[in-house]
Structure 1
Amino acid sequence: MTSDAVPDAPADPTIGWIGLGGMGVAMATRLVERGRPVLGWNRSAARAADAAAHGVTVTSDISEVAARDIVVSTLPDDEVVREVLAGDTVLAAVSPGSVHVNCATISPGLSRDLDGLYRARGAHYVSAPVFGRSAAAVNGQLTVVAGGDAEPVDLIRPVLADLAVSVHAFPEAAQANLVKILGNYLIAVTASSLGEVAGVAESAGVDPGQLLDVLTERLFSGLIHRAYGEMVVAQRYEPVAFTMRLGKKDVDLARAQAQQHAGRLPLGDVIAGALGEGVDGTAADKDWAFVAEWFRTQAGGSK
């Protein structure tokens, strides 16, 4: 049997989880609450303990997790993903016919590499990055972009349905990663532009809150403009859901994709510079929406 088919998929597949940071804990906990037991592993014992407190069964043996029918991973970047998922320990434990669901925002190139590695083991690889913060994960309100062969994507749909309001399927794993990268890039552009208009409003004596009430009523009424607009108006960027360090990583991924296809992202160059100043300074671990403050001050607003 080739790796293009899912053999005798179990009615109640066992689920493993690799990476129990803030988003990983939120997503795994959601599955547990929906009646799906999860066996999890994390590099940090403290994070693992937090997951255990929320009902996730934890183990220090990653190979035990990697052997499950469906294995979900929520890891931070290309370096860690390559180290963990492409490592001999995980690959040796992968079960033929199993599905690895990688929710990390990584480069399309790495996604293609992982797809090849898992196919060679007779297993399936699906990229399934998500849009939404940990609060959305807890409430099953994520948006999932799933890239991979149709059969394994269909197999994991019931699990994804417990986490998300919608699942958008793409035929290749790498395509899902590109969609997520570009989506995060657009969020960064939105936060930056909100900071700019708030700065100009302040310098002209106009209440930024009133300005954004007008703009987000109908003209820019989407979730991102409203949520990030509230953060910018209040200059409140806690609790931290996604750090500036990770935001810089994602904007750089978008810039690299443009360059790979003989283009560039001029706005991205400026935003990457602003995020870079934050990462090199004291703001590396602040929420990435804090980049709006750089643009706010550039536009004449207050710090």
Structure 2
Amino acid sequence: MLDEESFKGDTGNRPSLDKIGVIGLGLMGTEIAANLAAVGHCVRAYVRRPARLVELKALNLIPTTSMQDLSDCNILLSMLPDDDAVREVFFGKTATEGIAAHLGPGTIHLSMSTISTTASAEFAHAHKIRGQDYVAAPVFGNPAAAKARELAVIVAGPVTACKRCSPLIERLGRTFFVGSEPAQANLIKLLGNMMTATTLQVLGELIALLRKRGQDPQQFLDIMTGTMFGSRVHTIYGRRIVAGDYAPGLAMPMALKDVRLALAEAEKASVAIPSVSVVRDRMITAIARGHAARDWTALALLAFEEAGL
């Protein structure tokens, strides 16, 4: 891992003087943009639907339905769902269609999306030939963590560009700088998500077993999280599963997208990750059974259904 101190800017606690634009105002993007505005950053927010303008203005953002209003931003933050969405927004189908064609040299694309390493490298190259920088900064955490500024932000990209982005990133939670190639951050994000996904699968199976045997699953979780398994994943998601809380933070289809990306990375490296293949199949089944609108914690709900609970 590279020296984190070498990436930090010298602005202290002062907001960046850069003009900030945000594209991708879903649950996560909205919380991130609102937090940046709350600490004094001037944030322009692009949305497609005019109905959201009032809501975003109330969060001290400068909302717009014209992407061209972001063309003079110095840092453009994106929180988009997948490779294709980032490609379409920034590079379009023609040389002049995407927003990147209208950004000036020196502009930084701060990509917080969970995407493939191949796409990340592609986007970094496409920005470089335009004289722009690309920094990957995918996050661990759900919308509640984003609101509380408790995200873990995994950052990789050119050192000078990371320094420029530092005053923004540090407002969102804990920051980990992992290298100068953006794809490095994306690989860590994908593999971290697989640790969560496989944990959710195991939690669902064990809680189903406990319930079938008439024992209290919360008691089990309290023992495990108080001894060997005290991670946020086991504690927070375990509590949600026991409570039957499947409100989407990461909806099942988006989680399945991440699983497929991780499996592609593994195949490219000739590494078998069979536990993740199991999770892929379980997610496909969950979606087929009508759970597409639920959080990926609904892997447990599938286990309950199959156990007759």
TM-score (norm 2): 0.90
Q: In structure 2, what is the Cα distance between the partners aligned to 1:218 and 1:112?
A: 41
Please report how far the alpha carbon of residue 297 of structure 1 lies from its aligned counterpart in structure 2 after TM superposition: 4.3
Q: What is the DSSP-based 3-state SS (H/G/I as helix, E as strand, rest coil) of the residue aligned with 2:154?
A: strand
Q: 1:281 to 1:79 in 2, by over 3 A?
A: farther
Q: In structure 2, what is the Cα distance between the partners aligned to 1:50 and 1:279?
A: 31
Partner of 1:259: 267
Q: In structure 2, what is the Cα distance between the partners aligned to 1:47 and 1:186?
A: 35
Please report how far the alpha carbon of residue 49 of structure 1 lies from its aligned counterpart in structure 2 after TM superposition: 4.3
* Contact 1:197–1:296, Cα closer than 8 Å, also in 2: no
1:283 aligns with 2:288: no
**Equivalent position amino acid for 2:253 in 1:** R
Partner of 1:269: 277
* Contact 2:155–2:175, Cα closer than 8 Å, also in 1: no
Partner of 1:38: 43
Please report how far the alpha carbon of residue 113 of structure 1 lies from its aligned counterpart in structure 2 after TM superposition: 0.6
Q: In structure 1, what is the Cα distance between the partners aligned to 2:98 and 2:85?
A: 14
Please report how far the alpha carbon of residue 249 of structure 1 lies from its aligned counterpart in structure 2 after TM superposition: 0.5
Q: Which moved more, 1:78-87 or 1:42-51?
A: 42-51
Q: Which moved more, 1:64-73 or 1:27-36?
A: 64-73
Q: What is the DSSP-based 3-state SS (H/G/I as helix, E as strand, rest coil) of the residue aligned with 1:218?
A: coil
Please report how far the alpha carbon of residue 42 of structure 1 lies from its aligned counterpart in structure 2 after TM superposition: 2.1
Structure 2 unmatched ranges of 5 or more: 1-10
Aligned with 1:167 (options 168, 171, 176) = 176
1:249 aligns with 2:257: yes
Q: 1:33 to 1:96 in 2, by over 3 A?
A: same
Q: In structure 2, what is the Cα distance between the partners aligned to 1:201 and 1:301?
A: 13
Aligned with 2:110 (options 80, 95, 101) = 101
Please report how far the alpha carbon of residue 203 of structure 1 lies from its aligned counterpart in structure 2 after TM superposition: 1.8
1:60 aligns with 2:60: no
Please report how far the alpha carbon of residue 158 of structure 1 lies from its aligned counterpart in structure 2 after TM superposition: 0.9
The count of aligned residue pairs is 292
Matches within 5 A, 1:11-90: 12-87=17-92, 88-90=97-99
User: Taking every aligned residue pair, what percent have the same amino acid on both sides?
Assistant: 34
Q: What does the per-residue CA deviation read over 1:167-192, in whole Å, with 9 as the maximum and x for residues that have no partner?
A: 33322101111100011111111111
Q: Which moved more, 1:178-187 or 1:157-166?
A: 157-166
Partner of 1:136: 145
Q: 1:16 to 1:274 in 2, by over 3 A?
A: same
Q: What is the DSSP-based 3-state SS (H/G/I as helix, E as strand, rest coil) of the residue aligned with 1:286?
A: coil
1:153 aligns with 2:158: no
Partner of 1:192: 201
Q: In structure 1, what is the Cα distance between the partners aligned to 2:36 and 2:16?
A: 16
Q: In structure 2, what is the Cα distance between the partners aligned to 1:264 and 1:67?
A: 45
Q: In structure 2, what is the Cα distance between the partners aligned to 1:128 and 1:207?
A: 40
Please report how far the alpha carbon of residue 48 of structure 1 lies from its aligned counterpart in structure 2 after TM superposition: 4.7
Deviation beyond 6 Å, 4+ runs, structure 1: none
Please report how far the alpha carbon of residue 45 of structure 1 lies from its aligned counterpart in structure 2 after TM superposition: 3.5
Q: Which moved more, 1:98-107 or 1:132-141?
A: 132-141
TM-score (norm 1): 0.92
Q: In structure 1, what is the Cα distance between the partners aligned to 2:282 and 2:52?
A: 30
Please report how far the alpha carbon of residue 59 of structure 1 lies from its aligned counterpart in structure 2 after TM superposition: 1.3
Q: In structure 1, what is the Cα distance between the partners aligned to 2:267 and 2:53?
A: 39
Q: In structure 2, what is the Cα distance between the partners aligned to 1:288 and 1:42?
A: 26
Please report how far the alpha carbon of residue 47 of structure 1 lies from its aligned counterpart in structure 2 after TM superposition: 4.4
Please report how far the alpha carbon of residue 143 of structure 1 lies from its aligned counterpart in structure 2 after TM superposition: 0.6
Q: In structure 1, what is the Cα distance between the partners aligned to 2:54 and 2:276?
A: 38
Q: 1:136 to 1:244 in 2, by over 3 A?
A: same
Q: 1:127 to 1:47 in 2, by over 3 A?
A: farther
Partner of 1:4: none
